A and B are shown apart, each in its own frame.
Chain A
């Protein structure tokens, strides 16, 4: 009886770790795919190099999380398999990362708001009791710190730039804000993992995040934080916007059309 109970707990913990790693991996994968959409379309050659580097960082991060997820699952699925052969309903990413690029202001606003939370999460995960998770977090942390720095410099540049750049950035923030609540609203899985000392308690991260955003917005031509009555949630449970399906269509096309193709 005792042994059975222990087994049940272990199974649940692994299931939780698997789902949580999908969440981390899918955030990076989906945002990486979004950033890669700028290749060939960025406002300047220099920015083209910048976004493709950001995209590569994120795809590389996704690979680490998803490979670990596959090993924990133990059914022979690696990162490629998990990325290419799940449908939108099975993706656990935050809604903010799947929002279409829009203009450059929207892209950098999305990147700033998410990367700031992303950095706080990987900083905490670097101290995780789960050594495998902590190792990956320590590896990606400097990259994400650069993402924050890059995106913040664009918030300042556009916010404090021309009337048009300020207006475009404010419009982007107004449209994105309703997706920011989800970044600090853990589901039952993350709450259990936080209790285990594996994942951070997201609610403890929000105050610092908000303080930095307020400070940067204030210094960037006085950008306003919009009032949102109810935040949009659901990404972790697979309730995505219509945009994710289109994104996956492009991301997964090759492996769906030619399964197992390698080059």
Chain B
């Protein structure tokens, strides 16, 4: 079989109601329906999910790895953005 008409789909699985979809991997497929079927067989066969998203990989715009310094470096020195300086009052169990 020629696979020249197949494309790559990124697969996102929601593991339970209330949680967000998370990227789990990718599949090759001839159309979106087949991508869902393939993802079902590959990524949910051990009961991992309740919902699947399939997104053509070509539809994803990625950040430029060479731009990592200008994109992410400025955040590193701003530790005050992390909520680590607060005292958690006694009796608060889950934060």
Contact = CB atoms under 8 A, between A and B. Distances in A.
Interface of A: 43-47, 49-50, 53, 104, 150, 153, 157
Given A53-B41, A104-B1, A150-B37, A46 B31 contact: no
Contacts of B41: 46, 49-50, 53
A169 B31 CA distance: 19
A46 B38 contact: yes
User: Top 3 closest A-B pairs, CB basis?
Assistant: A46-B38, A43-B1, A49-B41
B21 interface: no
Contacts of A53: 41, 45
B3 interface: yes
Contacts of A50: 37-38, 41
Contacts of B30: 157
B33 A44 contact: no
A46 B33 contact: no
Interface string B23-39: 00001111101100110
A257 B15 CA distance: 45
A132 to B, nearest CB: 26
Contacts of A153: 33-34, 37
B3 A44 contact: yes
Interface of B: 1, 3, 6, 27-31, 33-34, 37-38, 41-42, 45
Nearest to B3: A44
B50 to A, nearest CB: 14
B4 to A, nearest CB: 11
A157 B1 contact: no
A21 B75 CA distance: 67
A49 B34 CA distance: 12
Given A153-B34, A153-B37, A157-B34, A46 B45 contact: no
Nearest to A53: B41
Contacts of B45: 49, 53
A44 B30 CA distance: 11
B31 A157 contact: yes
Contacts of B3: 43-44
Given A150-B37, A153-B33, A49 B42 contact: yes
Contacts of A44: 1, 3, 6, 28
Contacts of A46: 27-29, 34, 38, 41-42
B52 to A, nearest CB: 13
Contacts of B33: 153
A142 B7 CA distance: 29
A44 B4 CA distance: 12
A209 B87 CA distance: 68
A104 to B, nearest CB: 7
Nearest to B33: A153
Nearest to A42: B1
A49 B28 CA distance: 12
A47 B28 CA distance: 10
Please indicate which of the listed interface residues A44, A45, A50, A150 has the most CB atoms of chain B within 10 Å of its own CB. A44
A248 to B, nearest CB: 27
